[in-house]
Each structure stands twice: as C-alpha cells, then as structure tokens.
Amino acid sequence: MIITETKLKDCFIIEPTLHKDKRGYFTESFNQQNFNKHIGKTINFVQDNESMSSRGVLRGLHYQTNAHAQAKLVKVVQGEVLDIVVDLRKASKTFGQHISVRLNGDNKKQVFIPRGFAHGFLVLKDQTIFSYKCDNYYNKSSENGILYNDFNLNIDWLLPDDELILSDKDKTLQTFQDYLK
C-alpha cells in the first residue's frame, strides 16, 4: 500500500496493493492500524455510506460543521468519478485550494479527507458505486456546502454544465465568498 500526502496538508491518496492472478485480484482495502500509522493520527470510522449514480451526476461540494464535522475515506467500487477536495481551514496555507483525483473500480485508489474540507465528485461512468467511511455520524442540521461551479474555486469538472445532473439542494449552495463571511 502506498500512502501519499497531497498538496493539501493532512489529505492523502491511498493506493492499495493489488495481488492479481488468473482468478482475479485480492487487496486489503482497509487496515485501521496501518491507516492510522501512515496518516499520523488516530481516526475511528463510525459510519459507512454508499451511493450508485449515473454518468453526469455531480454530488457536492459538501461538508458538516462544528461538532458534527466529518473526516472521510472515499473510494469507487465500480465505475469512475472525478473526486474533488477543497481545503476550508482558514488557517491553512492551502486554504481555498483543491485537488482532483480520478477514482475508479480498476485503480482502487482512495482519498482520505480530514475534517475541515469540502468534498464532491462527478460520476464519469454509468452505474458507478461510490463508497465512503466517516468518522462522525451524519447530522442534517450541520450539513452545508459550497456551489460546485464557484468562480473563486475554479474547479475543472471535465464535463460541460449541460451534461451535469445536480440535486436542487446542490444547485443552491452558498458561494465561497459567502463561506468567508
């Protein structure tokens, strides 16, 4: 397993070792002890979530606030997404910056997103199954987000706007400027 810190401090890309043969493959997709050792802190995941989406579905950019903030470990079981992580920690040197990573069922890459970040993804293939662990329980009153196409974030979502499928809620999220207030 290769664990690499991204340009966003405390955010990591995890590439598991795949053992392949004529039967298929085997991989250890998560090991709590190794995970905590490599990222340098103890994270206790308490909830697993999974979604299935069609090509063009964009979910995000979401985050939980205050005591309900969540760290996430995300991956794609089947299909492919463009995964986006935005640093919202105002004291961070990379505040307002983002990374994008292609996650798919073949490369098995995962992204660890610490608390204090917004997260979203664009589905690039039909029938994509996206799975993630959270270190805190979901709390509806603490959910928040930033508009996916905010000018200040300048995220390249790869697909034109007319091919994107968003929830009504995600179409009306706050701007990055509103977040700063």
Say how many C-beta atoms besides its own lie within 10 A of residue 28's C-beta.
Answer: 10
pTM: 0.95
Domain extents in the chain: 45-180
**Strand locations in 22-97 (E):** 24-26, 47-53, 58-64, 72-78, 80-87
Q: Give the pLDDT of residue 167.
A: 98
- pLDDT-flagged residues of the chain (< 70): none
- The three-state secondary structure class of 83 is strand
Tell me, what's the pLDDT at 109? Answer: 97
The pLDDT of residue 1: 84
Exactly one of 62, 98, 119, 179 is catalytic; which is it? 62
Candidate list 63, 132, 148, 179, residue with the active-site label: 132
May I ask the CATH architecture of the domain 45-180? Sandwich (2.60)
> Known catalytic residue: 62?
yes
DSSP assignment of 139-152 equals: -GGGEEEB-TT-TT
**What is the bridge-based pairing of β-strands 128-134 and 58-64?**
unpaired
